[in-house]
Amino acid sequence: MKNLTILILLISVILQSNDCIAQNSIVENKYIFKEGDFNGIGKWYMGREIAYVMGYQGIGWLERSEREKEENVSKLIKNMRIKPNDFIADIGAGSGYHAFRMASLAPNGLVYAVDIQTEMLMAIENKKTFSENSNIETILGTEKTVELPKNSVDKILMVDVYHEFSFPIEMIASMKSALKSNGELFLIEYRAEDPLVPIKTIHKMSEKQAIKEMEAAGFKLRKNIDNLPWQHCMIFVKNN
């Protein structure tokens, strides 16, 4: 009887393992690998090539003095309608350019500054020593997860980073888990529809492409606020 119980347990473990392998295989099959843009990684998702991640060496560009004029970050932050008690995740937070602005509007909440580069997070920690905003917590994420608890945030912000995710399927699934049921995901991307936006094509995204990918992840577009100079400001919510 003991041997039979052990055998049943072993079979159960093998079946679970095979199921996980099958699920991973299904996900990998949704990615296509082929040559493309010089600035792309040769990996495609739903007809879009994924761009290389901008390294921490680009911090100066993130903090450039012209950024407010070029992107109207103040208006973007207003679009988010941040409440004092909001818990917000800034995914791909970089140097914290947006995180510190959001933190000042949520004094009773918290901003999770998530990035996969320790150098970026160190830059944020250094800025915290000179800032009055202590409600920023740096989180080291991975290429597949934001490392946030389930149902922990009211809002998620992604500014010009989603198109660089090497594993967009897994990343959005991770964010969906972290977002509260009534939460909002703000997807900010340079407009691919506008040839006058002075950004490389692979670092742009159309509204149509964004909707296609987000719908596949279980989100729906609530609104695209068309008031930024160069970028889409798309608000997605869970498609419950």
User: How far apart (Å, rounded) are the C-alpha atoms in residues 240 and 219?
Assistant: 8
240 vs 168, which has greater pLDDT? 168
User: How far apart (Å, rounded) are the C-alpha atoms in residues 112 and 154?
Assistant: 11
Over range 207-212, report the average pLDDT: 98
Predicted TM-score (pTM) of the model is 0.88
Are 211 and 167 in contact by the 8 Å Cβ rule? The answer is no
CA dihedral for 51, 178, 95, 211, sign (positive or negative): positive
User: How far apart (Å, rounded) are the C-alpha atoms in residues 58 and 75?
Assistant: 23
The share of the chain scoring above pLDDT 90, in percent, equals: 85
Q: How confident is the model at residue 151 (pLDDT cuts 50, 70, 90)?
A: very high
User: How far apart (Å, rounded) are the C-alpha atoms in residues 88 and 30?
Assistant: 30
**Phi first, then psi: what are they for 155, rounded to 5°?**
-140, 145
For 211-232, the pLDDT digits (tens) are 999 999 999 999 999 999 999 9
Helix or strand run (H / E) with residue 172: helix 168-178
Average model confidence (pLDDT) across the chain: 91
